Chain A
């Protein structure tokens, strides 16, 4: 291809990209748009219309850049493109694509600002715009914060529409038929006389023409797939053992590695004796990694067995060695000096409480581990020219930078091929395993190395959910809640995590009291103060992040006040909710559960209502109590997401969120002793098992103005709804997670 054509194509690509984003998202403060990464290595006859669509004579490739940890987002992203592109499942392949600034997350930043999503005032919108601009400048490709669906919803349909209209233009040029008389169907342009020209045949011509700039998205009534039950693209592979995860990567000449690093997180390796491992079968090399030691062997089991045989002397933890001292540090942080933010201060809280009759309570939410079922793993090959990485990661461009620093390459020399992930819950936002894999592979350059964590190593190095304490005072009058004065203290997950990623963070951390400051309740007298505890153990985002603790604390206390007032737990919450969209969620869960109808003898019901990630969620939990213990019988849950994009996957994810939230509320905590996590496997951090799983009834509401993600929002109301149900059944208030410390579960 001549130089002129190359320049024209480059212009075309950038132009098309500009359309894909510009129409959908309006004007941004930062105008420059990242280049389309698909143009690199584009062969003769291939066309890429924007960073999400690539077509050549052989086939159609749709790029789904968000990491798929099990939420089905690869499939959904492809469906959004395909809806407008008019291609059917089976006609395209889906790839994660290369890490690229073009895939910056347009939705997450907007939720990282301290304004409720329903606040559309000038200040809130301005802050959203500025935050988004920062993400764009950073080229922050990130999957997290339940933002993948909102990020993709318009952008990817637009990407499909741009490609479709450009292909039609190419067909018009080729056939002489006016573009208005052409239509598209099943991966082809159809002429008025019924002749079908496959997109793959048009790719070459389409690459040479100016992009179509005026595309209009189809109204929902014309959708073929979105909003209807879809079959996930990964479901057959995941039901037949043929899905390849990162842990399944196998390359010619690959060796297998296992690590042991100081279980006192961030502590040093003082000394070690590798002799017991040296003669073991299959052991090839023993190498140092930061804070520990690694064994390279000829299979995973031999590597793990050998590394466990090494005698290590570990240095002290850079945080309090005993759990009790972690709690003491949090207790000591309710001071003016540690106040991070006053999120609410409406009415006259002090005056109202001084009138007497104050109800007060204290709540605790512990460290909790992520522990998805696929242990952390990465495969890395380092050569002088490049570093190849195969791993599942939620922030792949930061991962590239971190690997590049270790191996001495430039970030663009790090070729990261993202992998399907066997669960994350926030675990794959971290970097430790990847750093270790890079350190090991850098010591055996040229040889691909697969590092696999043992479950024990994974538990020992799981940066957990931040612990929190909530102190609440309140007053009721005339059968209503009158005042709440709430204080929440926690280490800052944002500071801890952003520090490790090398990303900027500053100012108040919205996660410390998330789930509480985001409440849709309009209380007459309400003060909410958040306190930042100096960092203890490193902490990380855990499915729903701060809202898990904040929601538990506020919704448990609201329930206590409602009982003190003699009011109905659901009716009083509805009365307090001024936002009509949020109120409908509570009303829906009331209808679903038959709240006002007859109750089953011997059972108790609790309700909780938490808004997180812009999604108000109401849950009713029903438990039975017997001498054998508490059994969770039924759960009803209503969520407001703007639009349900796939009802089957939606139901699955919501039910999963309920199971995840209830399971951890029942029996999971990480506690530190001698600086180490005491829990080393699932026997001590179990979560829910199938025999404990209640019936779960799900409803998605579509009254909101924006499409929202559903990965995290079902989690925060689970713990308080369960605590409130146990109170209704037994009269016992549970104020500390996990609840198995106080009650037995059947």
Chain B
């Protein structure tokens, strides 16, 4: 099964119905994408397929046709994506376990939506659960990321 993840091509010998999440974590070896609920309830497993946020726990690896971007491919500690830079600047994370998914969701949202409103943020991010309750900082970080992206930083 051929799949491109973070610009790297892989040929996987796995069942087509294996969720993309587990192919990423256990087979390809990219553990930044997290398992939270296995039922599209929490969003911790969010990755981009063709630039659009999807829940990788509900996406069969056999159904993936476009390129996949995970949190590791979005940016790095040395060269963070503007959304990651905003998350760092706002110090959003507590336990941090949901934040890969939050960041991927925000990256997808901000790539598609300009001039965002509070309502837009609520709608875009409501599917991503944070058990620590970092929502006030997530809201601020999304706004900061939007400014960074508008300024081309």
Among candidates A244, A653, A659, A693, residue contacting B31 with C-beta atoms closer than 8 Å: A244
Chain A's nearest CB lies how many Å from the CB of B74?
Answer: 8
Question: What residue in chain A is nearest B128 (Cβ atoms)?
Answer: A690
Distance, CA A69 to CA B129, complexed state (A): 17
> Which of B70, B75, B131 has its CB near the most chain A CB atoms (within 10 A)?
B131
- Does B96 contact A422, Cβ atoms closer than 8 Å? yes
Binds B, one of A233-241, A344-352, A585-593: A233-241
> Could you give, for residues 405-439 of chain A, a 1 whenever the CB lies within 8 Å of some chain B CB and a 0 otherwise?
00000000000000011110100000000000000
- Does A70 contact B95, Cβ atoms closer than 8 Å? yes
- Does A652 contact B99, Cβ atoms closer than 8 Å? no
Q: Which residues, 17 to 54 on B, are CB-close (under 8 Å) to A? A: 18-19, 22, 25-27, 29, 31-39, 41-42, 44
Chain A's nearest CB lies how many Å from the CB of B75?
Answer: 6
Given contacts A299-B26, A659-B135, contact A234 B93 (CB under 8 A): yes
> Which of B31, B33, B132 has its CB near the most chain A CB atoms (within 10 A)?
B132
Chain B's nearest CB lies how many Å from the CB of A155?
Answer: 24
Binds B, one of A101-109, A516-524, A679-687: A679-687
Among candidates B39, B91, B98, B130, residue contacting A683 with C-beta atoms closer than 8 Å: B39
- Does A299 contact B38, Cβ atoms closer than 8 Å? no
Interface assignment of B115: CB less than 8 Å from any CB of chain A: no
Distance, CA A153 to CA B153, complexed state (A): 39
Question: What residue in chain B is nearest A459 (Cβ atoms)?
Answer: B37
Q: Which residues, 654 to 693 on A, are CB-close (under 8 Å) to B? A: 655-660, 663, 681-683, 686-691, 693
> Which of B76, B97, B138, B139 has its CB near the most chain A CB atoms (within 10 A)?
B97
Interface assignment of A375: CB less than 8 Å from any CB of chain B: yes
Distance, CA A681 to CA B38, complexed state (A): 9
Interface assignment of A568: CB less than 8 Å from any CB of chain B: no
- Does B84 contact A256, Cβ atoms closer than 8 Å? no
Q: Which residues in A have their C-beta under 8 angstroms from that of B84?
A: 239-240
Interface assignment of B125: CB less than 8 Å from any CB of chain A: yes
- Does A693 contact B136, Cβ atoms closer than 8 Å? yes
Chain B's nearest CB lies how many Å from the CB of A455?
Answer: 5
Interface assignment of A281: CB less than 8 Å from any CB of chain B: yes
Given contacts A241-B71, A423-B95, A690-B126, contact A236 B88 (CB under 8 A): yes
Distance, CA A371 to CA B44, complexed state (A): 14
> Which of B26, B27, B92 has its CB near the most chain A CB atoms (within 10 A)?
B26
Q: Which residues, 256 to 306 on A, are CB-close (under 8 Å) to B? A: 256, 281, 299-301
Q: Which residues in B have their C-beta under 8 angstroms from that of A72?
A: 94
Distance, CA A591 to CA B32, complexed state (A): 44
- Does B91 contact A422, Cβ atoms closer than 8 Å? no
- Does B77 contact A237, Cβ atoms closer than 8 Å? yes
Q: Which residues, 68 to 118 on B, are CB-close (under 8 Å) to A? A: 70-72, 74-77, 80, 84, 87-88, 91-100, 103
Question: What residue in chain A is nearest B92 (Cβ atoms)?
Answer: A239
Interface assignment of B123: CB less than 8 Å from any CB of chain A: yes
Distance, CA A237 to CA B125, complexed state (A): 21
Interface assignment of A391: CB less than 8 Å from any CB of chain B: no
Question: What residue in chain A is nearest B137 (Cβ atoms)?
Answer: A652
Q: Which residues in A have their C-beta under 8 angstroms from that of B94?
A: 70-72, 423, 652-653, 656
Number of A residues whose C-beta is below 8 Å from B?
A: 63
Chain B's nearest CB lies how many Å from the CB of A169?
Answer: 38
- Does A373 contact B93, Cβ atoms closer than 8 Å? no
Distance, CA A17 to CA B19, complexed state (A): 52
Interface assignment of A247: CB less than 8 Å from any CB of chain B: yes
Interface assignment of A27: CB less than 8 Å from any CB of chain B: no
- Does B99 contact A239, Cβ atoms closer than 8 Å? yes
> Which of B22, B33, B71, B135 has its CB near the most chain A CB atoms (within 10 A)?
B135
Interface assignment of A497: CB less than 8 Å from any CB of chain B: no
Chain A's nearest CB lies how many Å from the CB of B78?
Answer: 9
Chain B's nearest CB lies how many Å from the CB of A254?
Answer: 10
Chain B's nearest CB lies how many Å from the CB of A338?
Answer: 35
Chain B's nearest CB lies how many Å from the CB of A218?
Answer: 26
- Does A373 contact B126, Cβ atoms closer than 8 Å? no
Interface assignment of A374: CB less than 8 Å from any CB of chain B: yes
Interface assignment of B58: CB less than 8 Å from any CB of chain A: no
Chain A's nearest CB lies how many Å from the CB of B136?
Answer: 5
Q: Which residues in A have their C-beta under 8 angstroms from that of B63?
A: none
- Does A422 contact B39, Cβ atoms closer than 8 Å? no
- Does B133 contact A659, Cβ atoms closer than 8 Å? yes
Question: What residue in chain A is nearest B30 (Cβ atoms)?
Answer: A241
Q: Which residues in B have their C-beta under 8 angstroms from that of A234?
A: 93, 96
Chain B's nearest CB lies how many Å from the CB of A689?
Answer: 5
> Which of B41, B87, B96, B100 has its CB near the most chain A CB atoms (within 10 A)?
B96
Interface assignment of B59: CB less than 8 Å from any CB of chain A: no
Chain B's nearest CB lies how many Å from the CB of A541?
Answer: 16
Question: What residue in chain A is nearest B138 (Cβ atoms)?
Answer: A690
Q: Which residues in B have their C-beta under 8 angstroms from that of A663?
A: 133
Distance, CA A239 to CA B133, complexed state (A): 16
Question: What residue in chain B is nearest A245 (Cβ atoms)?
Answer: B97
Question: What residue in chain B is nearest A421 (Cβ atoms)?
Answer: B95
Interface assignment of A454: CB less than 8 Å from any CB of chain B: yes
> Which of A232, A234, A690 has its CB near the most chain B CB atoms (within 10 A)?
A690
Q: Which residues in B have their C-beta under 8 angstroms from that of A245?
A: 97
Q: Which residues in B have their C-beta under 8 angstroms from that of A300?
A: 22, 25-26, 35
| 10 cross-chain pairs, A with B, having the tightest CB-CB distances, nearest first | A241-B32, A70-B95, A659-B133, A422-B97, A238-B96, A241-B71, A656-B133, A301-B22, A691-B122, A238-B93
Given contact pairs A234-B93, A240-B72, enumerate 4 new A-B contacts (beta carbons under 8 Å).
A70-B95, A301-B18, A372-B95, A682-B42
